[in-house]
Each structure stands twice: as structure tokens, then as C-alpha cells.
Structure 1
Amino acid sequence: MFDHVKIGCSDYAASKAFFLTALAPLDVAAVGEGAPSYGIELVAKGDDASLCLFQGQGPIAPLHLAFKAKTREQVEAFYRAALAAGGKDNGPPGLRPQYSPHYYAAFVIGPDGHNVEAVCQRKDA
């Protein structure tokens, strides 16, 4: 559905470091970067949709960002990386049957209060 989503950050350097580290286990990397007011574009390997971060102005409204993982191991690696990058636990890796029978996810609060999730919904993962 999306080509890209662009979100403002209260501290561009901190958010950039957090997302690069937290999303690396999901094969997400920077594909372009300009001045902080323009920001950085992050894309998962083999995908063309992107998340763009830039230095925002004023208060930042927290969002819920869910990233697709190919395996449950990637969800677990995301969780460890996000915590190591300064994220705060908002739900450890595990099944969330209230969403669907195979919904395996982890949640971390990022630098601007965003609820960042990695989720794998594959039955065989």
C-alpha cells in the first residue's frame, strides 16, 4: 500500500542510531541520507517501501510502527537489538493469539515514544 512513510524525530541522531540497530536483524538498511532536515531512508532487503526519518520541529506524536519479520528468530533478534540500542520493553517476543493464531511479535518503545514492533505471522516460521 505505501511507497514510503516519513516521520519526524525529536533527536535525529538518536532515532537514526536506534532504528538502524533495531531493524538490522530484519535486513533493513539505509539506502539514502541527506541533511537531518531531509533525513534518512530505510528499506528492507528485497522490498521497495521505505521508512524515512528526519529532524522534526515541535512535539512528536508517538506512532505504532510494525515491521514484518520472516522468522520468529528475526523477531527475537529485533527485540534484543532494539533493547541494546536503548529501547524500552513493551512486550517480549511471543505469540499473540488475541490477534491471530500465528501472530508472533515483540514490542519496544523507541526514542520518541513510538511503539516499534517486529511481527512474524507465518505458521511455519
Structure 2
Amino acid sequence: MIDHLSLQVRDLSAAAAFYDAVLAPLGGRRLLEFGEVIGYGAQRPEFWLGPLSSGARGSGGEAREVHVAFSAADRATVAAFHAAALATGAEELHPPRLWPEYHESYFGAFVRDPDGNNVEAVCHTPPEA
């Protein structure tokens, strides 16, 4: 349903370093860079970063948190995403674990990116028996 998503960030270099690290275990990489815009994906840009514009803040001037969840092929990839995020100095929100309140095979890890967004990697596949 979603073709692509773009986040506006305060510090493009810091955000790019974070997403370079955490998207690599998921098979994502920088595919396009032009001006102050970076496009990530596996085969085509699906996730974009760009500079914060004045219209991106709330009415009081505060930044708004965004939640982004990236698909992971398996649970080991979720763990690799989590480790890569922590290696960048990201804040851990939730370590890799099952979230049965979502569904019985929902395995995810949550971290905070340099702009304070809640970034997740999730695998929906049950573990192999």
C-alpha cells in the first residue's frame, strides 16, 4: 500500500549515518543522493531523508515523533538491526523480543533515531521448528 516514505531531519549527516548502519542488515542502502535528499532501498528508493522544513513542526514549534517499522526477513536480522542501532549510540526503546499482543509471531526491536523518531525492525514469520 505504501510506495515510499520520507522523514525530515534536523541533521542530515547524523541521520544518514544512523540509517546507513541500521538499514544495512535489512538489505537497504543509499540508492540516490541529490541536493539535500537521500533515498534508501534494496532495489528502488522507498525511504527518504531530507532537511527539516519550517512546516514540519507542531503548532508550538516542537518536533513530532514518527514511528517507522522496517521489515526483517528473520529474527536474526531484527537482532542485527538492533545491534547496529546501538553501535551508532541510538537509544534503545525495546530490545528484540516477541510482542504477542500484536500477534503470536510478531518479533520486533525499537530504537530512537537522531531526531527522536521511534524506529523498529519487525519479523512476522514464526521461528523454524
TM-score after normalising by structure 2:
0.88
1:16 aligns with 2:16: yes
1:74 aligns with 2:77: yes
- The one of 37, 53, 56 equivalent to 1:57 is 53
1:108 aligns with 2:120: no
Structure of greater relative contact order (alpha carbons < 8 Å, 6+ residues apart): 1
Counterpart of 2:48 in structure 1: which amino acid?
A: C
Structure 1 match to 2:126: 123
Shift of 1:35: 1.5
Q: Which has the larger radius of gyration?
A: 2
Counterparts of 2:45 and 2:39, CA distance in 1: 10
Counterpart of 1:41 in structure 2: which amino acid?
A: G
Counterpart of 1:42 in structure 2: which amino acid?
A: Y
Deviation track 1:3-47 (CA, whole Å, cap 9, x = no partner) reads: 2111100111100110110111001101100121xx10000x35x
Structure 2 match to 1:34: 34
Counterparts of 2:75 and 2:98, CA distance in 1: 10
Calculate percent identity across the aligned residue pairs: 37
- How many residue pairs match? The answer is 121
In structure 2, stretches of 5+ residues that fail to align are 58-62
SS of structure 2 residue aligned to 1:99: coil
Q: CA RMSD in A?
A: 1.4
Shift of 1:123: 1.2
TM-score after normalising by structure 1:
0.91
